[in-house]
Structure 1
Amino acid sequence: MRLQPILSLITCFVFFIGHVPAHSIRPRAPTKVANIENATIHTPSQRVTASTEFNLTFSLAGQPSEFRLSLEPNHDLLSQNLHTRHVDVNGEVLRTETSERAQHKIFKGKTLVRSAGGGWETAGWARAFVVRDGNDPLFQGAFSVFSQKYHIGIVSGQAGAPASERRMVVYHDFPGVPQTNVEVGALLGRPDTAIPFTKRQYLPDSTDLTDSIGSTSGCPTTRRVAVLGIATDCTYSAAFDSAEEVQQNLIGMANTASEVFESTFNVALAIRNLTITDSTCPSNTSNSIPWNVGCSAGDMDWRLQRFTAWRRTLGDRTNAYWTLMTGCPNGEQIGVSWTGELCDSQMGANVVARTENTWQVFAHESAHIFGAVHDCTADTCSSSEQCCPLSTSSCNADAQYLMNPVSTSSQSEFSPCTIGNICFMFGSSSIKTSCLVNSDNVPTLTIGQCGNGIVEAGEDCDCGEDDCGECCNGSTCRFREGAVCDDAAGLCCTNCPFLSADTVCRTSTGACDLSETCTGDSSACPSDRHVPDGDACGTESGLFCASGQCTNRDMQCRDQLSRNSTDITSCGGNSCSLRCSVGRSTDCMDIGQSVLDGTPCDGGLCQNGQCQTDEGSWVDEHRSLVIGLAAGVGGALVLAVLAVIILCCRSRRRKHGKKLSPAVSVTSVPDLPPPYSAREHGPGTVRYA
């Protein structure tokens, strides 16, 4: 039943879809395009700020089916602050610094489609960057429908057209497939054609890199930002006179490397977190920051292993990757990186040694994170090792480009093969891109002020414009007379007063999603709430709630493989890795993905690919027993104390004539622990704001 409206939508999409001229879109393969119509922002004023939670609906030209993007602020990406932590030799935090932030209306959420019964059914994820709000909104981004990814672009009919003539389109690429052979089911739904069932790899050895040489199709058509974290070990910090110089050096390095990524891939690099160590190396390795050691402790591979393990402890899903800067090259080796691990909170890490051309080394290792392989040399051309050739007819790239295995200061751009390689990665979803941010500019440090769209200390409201409507004075960032809230600030403010308590501000989207109601004293709709993970749901047996979705492991396998076939089943037991089998095959394949957060596992629930047990569950289930035992033990202790006091008093009466010894002063009371330390959350854990 759930696919019937989707298949109807697909049929309409095929009839009304067409090629839309756009100067910024150069598809690598035939691209299906459809105009967006009836776009509506569902807030009282049809306006949004960066902190607004709202629904956005639209349809595609010529067909009645409707999409809904349920959006909320992407707080991690919007807080484009630079957080710097200065730590000592043991990893203890000496001080923290936070920059001011820039503002962009960037949102994340989920895609919903109409079901056969007229309700809404969760179908995938959504990302949107609102360029213009109001009754004629303009937005760009991407969304998915049952594992198929679609892009929303802003185009104009001809060059130089006014902004009012810009329109939004949805487009979908089919790499390497002739347009005449595109299956209907592959447009907006689960493809009907079979998909090879293999473990996902960033770049299979059989991939012919010559197919995409020089092509930018697949790379973002609008600016994206990859935020990252950088840490320095003691050997790197020691090369500078102060921590301020270290910070300036790192910012300059990232900004220089960012230019080549921006101009080549339309992806900017921006530092979000800095961890700067003391310039003195420790005599013993610290458990908190095990990578902070002198050069004799280990080579670069050794540092990468320990830095990766530390990166995992951060619980950081926001940064695209982390880089360790060191002053310890390993002979001729000046950098090492995991490959194709962009947006991976477990493996997204590399190590860069300080050289005369550090920014090139940083760019080289960063490109490995994006999935790039080395350019071909005379040696690799004559071997079976995979490399990027110069052209379709020539192998040796002659050390001209940044991905040459040996770095020189003359290398300042990526080869056509590397460009095609990385863009293919983007277009084919062979690497994760969920952490990349839609943005027009690299985040910069700005001073808080009225009119920047951010409600800061001393302001009631800030719409980012001079004319903020009936509720907010845009020139003073204060409420107008009689107003208690700003309509654009949240779903629970209409015509300047708060909506009454219990007014539904966000409806349920399914069996595992709860409705939210206004509080009556705030313009914000409460945070989205879900049915507890692991609870049973739906009418079929074996279904459970996970991350707000009613699902099971079989359904997750089918969604990942883009096929609604009962031949595909889960075979992973209770682990947090998604393992699937096809048909009657006895092979159980790990497809390289974790199950949804909240999926039950051995004794707990999966979170970020790890099975987390709830140690407090027994206490919750036996609360009455615990309270009774506590009361009984507590009462016994009170009686015991009273008995001791009575005995002491009787003893003193019997010995009232005896002179008491002077009291002994206590001077060895231990100091209170510091209010905050790098180990506050456990060994090896550093938390960022």
Structure 2
Amino acid sequence: MATTAFRFCLLWVFFAALVAATSTTRNPLRAISTIQNATIHTHSHRVTALHNFDLSFVLRPHLHVKLSLEPNDDLLPNTGLLVSYLDSDGSVSRTEDLDRLAHKVFRGSAWYRQEDVDDEWIRAGWARITVIKDGLQPLFQGAFALNHDNHHIQLAPHFAHTRHDLDPHVDTADENSMVVYRDSDILLDQHVDYHMHELRRGLEYEDGLTCQSDNLGFNSQLDHPVYTAMLRRSDSVLGSETLGNLFGKRQVDSSTSGNSAGVDLTSTIGQTKGCPSTRQVALVGVATDCTYTAQFNSTESVRINVIDQMNTASSIYEQTFNISLGLANLTISDSNCPGTPNSASAWNQACSDSVDIQDRLNLFSAWRGNQQDSNSHWTLLSTCNTGSAVGLAWLGQACVQTAYSTNSSTTGNGQSSSDGSETVTGANVVVRTQGASEWQIIAHETGHTFGAVHDCTDQTCAQSSTVSSQQCCPLSSTTCNAGAQYIMNPSTTSGVKNFSPCSIGNIC
């Protein structure tokens, strides 16, 4: 697929706001399926990273699914993706260029046919698939949508690490089994028994459904003039262009608002004028800490999962903003956590009560400030949640490549001349945990990094100061509560598929 690739860079020269995207765990599932009769429709039932092909399987009795797939060339460059491996002490042990042909990563469309009902295949949505093994008994993971209902595919051992304690039982030890669940299989809050609710969250998590960003000082800074820039990505030349050229961004005013652009969000609801008309690629660096790596049986499995999650998360940005997420750097920590964290990579440490998710974001942000790249941002993947919070991001900091601390001056390389409680840059943290969809949290946190505030909820709508200062995105100019139905809802909910019209206008 021929697309023009760009180094997507938004250089925000301002005292930006922080949002703590405290995505929380989902409710239990009412049902789980497994993939049956999977078939790769090529002559030999084998594929390379460059193949276009169909993949079919039986999802439930009488329901046949077909995925028409093509390589996702935006996600992985042909050359130049650097993979760094950290030793158990946190130092870099080796680096290598990723072999693009070794990773079979695809995107495409999803079709279905009901046995004895439909004579023809019916196109019903999108698909993102990573093929792990081809042949007569293929293995793959990813996600697809049928009639706006997201379906999540995981290898059974991977599902074991993200399943809810109250999900239906499935044999998670079978390495050749692929588990599928739908967003519509997630129980709604009103259908969850009180005792199940207590088991799911614990009493201390009852307030975890809303974002904790209001408790962070950096988020209370209201004045932040926005300036933007973008570096062009191509195979041979790096040029630059402003965000105004790319997004057609509105003129920035100096009003005191809490959103990323300092404008009245209701005035741009649903507007896509500023979004790119041709495909562009936002380059992303991803790092895994020791706790994340330890959940996999090899660094190869870590690599495959990271690529798969980014491939799926990219789909919502391609569909909504014509922007793909492209991996530029991957840093994989050793599975053995260091006894004493290396000062150069202090974010790579075991989970502990003394280091919460905000501390981890601060440590990672300082490290990101020392990386010499032109990436849009970096994402840290961990398994260390704080309560029910499984994600945290700095708002509107895409392509801020240096780190600075609040309430202090900085040297521009991640160090400050005086103590500051928050270290800010283009970075976010995503936690892999039970009862949460990893790729959806990545999509949510990336939205914050690109400047999207949370959607308004009934709680924030009741806070007149939050609404008047535009620190949440309303459903419309006349309705505040967005109804917890979009990707930028403060907590994870079932059936989240798209950005709200307000978030689209907020980013575009």
TM-score, normalised relative to structure 2: 0.49
The higher-RCO structure (CA 8 Å, 6+ apart) is 2
Which protein shows a greater Rg?
Answer: 1
